[in-house]
Structure 1
Amino acid sequence: MIPIFDISAETSADPSEPAFVLARPHRTVVAQGVGRVFHSAQEAVTALRGGQVGHIVGALPFSPGAPAALFAPESVSVTDTGYRPAMPNGLPHFEIDTALPPPDTHTQRVAAAVRLLADPTHPIRKVVLARAIRARASQRMRPAELLDLLVSTDPVGNGFLVDLSAAGMPYRGRHLVGSSPEILIRREGTEVLSHPLAGSARRATDSDADRRAADNLLASSKDQHEHRYVTDQVSGVLRDRCASVRTPGSPELTGTPEMWHLGTPITATVPVDGPSALELAAALHPTPAICGTPTADAARLIAEIEGDRGFYAGAVGWCDAEGNGEWMVSIRCAELAADGLSLLAHAGGGIVAESDPAAELAETTGKFQRILGPLGISDLPVTVA
């Protein structure tokens, strides 16, 4: 029997604010109100397949064993148009409070991981290491204001917002807000798409330098090596659950305003009653793009080095009773505190034996700009103060 949780005891969210938004160029999903809560993907899948709820929205944490923030909304709107953000007006001023860890410590962690990965007897071949920046505001920022700011500064209008209260304490009143470019899984009818990203380079303001950065990324054996771990894992998971899996032989460039990425669109088909978008998301997560390979070993190493990532590098999305839905990898995001006065942003990079610690630090600095840049934070600390 699926337990029913009383969300009124777990959330202090403003009822006028959306509880969930997924903004994509082709579709916008907006959910109001938190109804029945599910602390695991399996509980939510059972309720969907049993016809007990019509939609599930929310977020999966980085660690599959941690409580999820999944819920059946009180109402949901699905439209085949992009999200229209409100014009930002009088936004609070943010300043960096803390780097977690300091930049020099992050480069030391990367250097230690490189030495470990260079040992042919060690099982881990890739690990994704992240760092965080805490910023504080001059006045309260509403979650929807941050979403509108991020969507309005993304060329294709990507964005998401999730009330994390469904995960219980200590997430009551907190929101995960971001603008992710990475599709973990999308299912529309019988068609399935996953578009993993792995291998990155910071973009340049000069057009010639920017093109060189893109060309160098495509030619990089290190980044191609890193990317292959991801496509092999995603393709294997989909082959076990889907038919007609099609994986291109080489990645293509995917651009955001701040970064170039190597990306591979992997497609498949499923029967009408086959695995839902949520089931496929749970099976795929965490991919080597945000964890490493082998997955279990890399996840243990991340826990030892970083501690609990919470909902950073998890997945955010929705699923309906017919199995349709879309789940984005929760990167380029920040957790906004319940009082709206501080946020915690993460950025990470895939480490392999060929990685350079200084380059990895620069990569995370570029990735932070998707969140911190629109808030007016352009100068990040690069050394220990």
Structure 2
Amino acid sequence: MSERPMAQTLATQLLDSYEAGSSFFFASPKRTLLTRGTFATVPPLEGQDALQRLPEHVTAVLNDARNAGHDIPVVVGAVPFDGSLSSHLVVPMTFQRGGPLSFDTASPARPSTARYTVRPVPEPAAYLHGVAQALELMRSSPLRKVVLSRSLHLDTPTPIDLTQLLRNLAQRNTAGYTFAVDLPAQPGASGGRRTLIGASPELLVSRSGLQVLANPLAGSAARSADPVEDQRRASTLMESPKDLHEHAVVIDAVAEALRPYCKTLDVPKRPSLIHTPTMWHLSSRISGELKDPSITSLTLAAAMHPTPAVCGFPTRLAHEAIGSIEPFERGFYTGTVGWCDATGDGQWAVTIRCAEADERTLRLFAGAGIVVGSTPESELAETEAKFRTMLQAMGLGQSAEVQP
């Protein structure tokens, strides 16, 4: 394996060098990674303990790669929402890294020349009914939160330009985590590449030496083009009992998952605000120091996933509710995407604000956290706002033609 020093590789050159079908791309606020090819694939694991066994298997594959002459082994890829299903992690042939992405101008996304038809799954009315079902479950069970998702299926007669889509996402979301991951073909499918592509605002966990950082987000509000209204929405979010409760549920669960691995852990008493071009979010940066250097970033990610930010609380009840209410399989949506090297360092982002793409189709995803005090209409509106990250990067805004 070869690595070019950070100072010698411009992040924008890595972005421009991305090729769908043969690359892994991951940009964080501090660094940019591009890998090519596959030296080894982490063998698939399935079963209820698959996610817990994954870090051990990754360590074995990395050791084998290093013994075979890869001087800086790293695994890259994605973990699905359902931890009992197989992850897709590979040791790449080549690895390049650069600093943070920066752009000379904040020019708008290049308008899409493709004509898309859009089919919502579920239909908005069905999603409203699903939220009402979740609220009823909270009245009759210990369920405190459940995240319910929607998808948009976009079809176009012409090939999708994933390279341009990735650049648009990166340019509009420099403070987040932009990614593109090659995925294996669907079982029983006729072939063709699949790509997981998106721009997540949320860090699941990172490890650098003994230092650990998690940045869970929970509690959201759509941005407004009117600066006065935009600031009003931000202020309202910071004081919203419903959103502060939703955030507290997530923070407590994340801290509980990290605490056994850390000798110190700093949990903010109150959240702060962060924003993307489309959303305001309540945010808490949780930092700590590991007890043992053998604890890898993937071990931490496996212990935390799925957080209540993407599943709910209690986890088992929320997972069951999602399975009974959502009419589709999430796959890698609301999983985690990132990298881990042989020293255990790495970064893992929550796989949101994303789509799964093949040559002529995109499946976009968005979800909302349902808690006591939620209303079906407001949660539907939140998912519409979250879809804008992908739609605007496609140059579509809200203008795509929706098929009945």
d(CA) in 2 for partners of 1:311, 1:83: 28
d(CA) in 1 for partners of 2:110, 2:221: 32
Q: Is the aligned partner of 1:136 residue 2:155?
A: yes
Equivalent position SS for 1:34: coil
Partner of 1:176: 196
Kept in 2, the 8 Å contact 1:21–1:161? The answer is: yes
Q: Is the aligned partner of 1:203 residue 2:223?
A: yes
d(CA) in 2 for partners of 1:243, 1:168: 43
**Aligned ranges 1:179-258 → 2 under 5 Å:** 179-258=199-278
Q: Deviations over 1:69-95 (max 9, x none)?
A: 11111111122332779x977854242
Q: CA RMSD in A?
A: 2.6
Distance 1:92 1:140, change over 3 A: farther
TM-score, with length taken from structure 2 = 0.84
d(CA) in 2 for partners of 1:359, 1:279: 36
Distance 1:373 1:103, change over 3 A: same
Q: Is the aligned partner of 1:29 residue 2:51?
A: no
Distance 1:155 1:301, change over 3 A: same
Relative to structure 2, which stretch is displaced further, 130-139 or 203-212?
130-139
Q: Is the aligned partner of 1:311 residue 2:353?
A: no
Q: Deviations over 1:275-308 (max 9, x none)?
A: 1111111111100000000111111211122242
d(CA) in 1 for partners of 2:86, 2:399: 32
Q: Is the aligned partner of 1:149 residue 2:148?
A: no
CA shift for structure 1 position 140 = 0.7
Q: Is the aligned partner of 1:48 residue 2:59?
A: yes
Equivalent position SS for 2:92: strand
d(CA) in 1 for partners of 2:92, 2:369: 35
1:289 to 278, 291, 309: 309
Distance 1:73 1:212, change over 3 A: same
Kept in 1, the 8 Å contact 2:147–2:322? The answer is: yes
Relative to structure 2, which stretch is displaced further, 302-311 or 255-264?
302-311
Partner of 2:134: 113
Kept in 2, the 8 Å contact 1:70–1:166? The answer is: no
CA shift for structure 1 position 354 = 0.9
d(CA) in 2 for partners of 1:89, 1:215: 33
List runs of 5+ in structure 2 lacking aligned partners.
1-17, 46-50, 66-72
Q: Deviations over 1:307-346 (max 9, x none)?
A: 4210110000000000110000000000001xx2110000
Partner of 1:259: 279
1:357 to 373, 376, 396: 376
Equivalent position SS for 1:104: helix
Equivalent position SS for 2:89: strand
**1:35 alignment partner AA:** F
Partner of 1:10: none
Relative to structure 2, which stretch is displaced further, 93-102 or 180-189?
93-102
Equivalent position SS for 2:325: helix
CA shift for structure 1 position 167 = 7.9
Q: Is the aligned partner of 1:279 residue 2:290?
A: no
Identity of aligned pairs, percent? Answer: 37
Relative to structure 2, which stretch is displaced further, 41-50 or 222-231?
41-50
d(CA) in 2 for partners of 1:294, 1:380: 38
List runs of 5+ in structure 1 lacking aligned partners.
1-13
Partner of 1:104: 125
d(CA) in 2 for partners of 1:104, 1:30: 41
Partner of 1:322: 343
Relative to structure 2, which stretch is displaced further, 238-247 or 14-23?
14-23
**2:170 alignment partner AA:** V
Partner of 1:268: 288
* Residues matched between the structures, number: 367
d(CA) in 2 for partners of 1:168, 1:77: 31
CA shift for structure 1 position 25 = 2.1
CA shift for structure 1 position 174 = 0.6
CA shift for structure 1 position 380 = 7.0
Q: Is the aligned partner of 1:369 residue 2:360?
A: no
d(CA) in 2 for partners of 1:343, 1:290: 21
Equivalent position SS for 2:37: strand
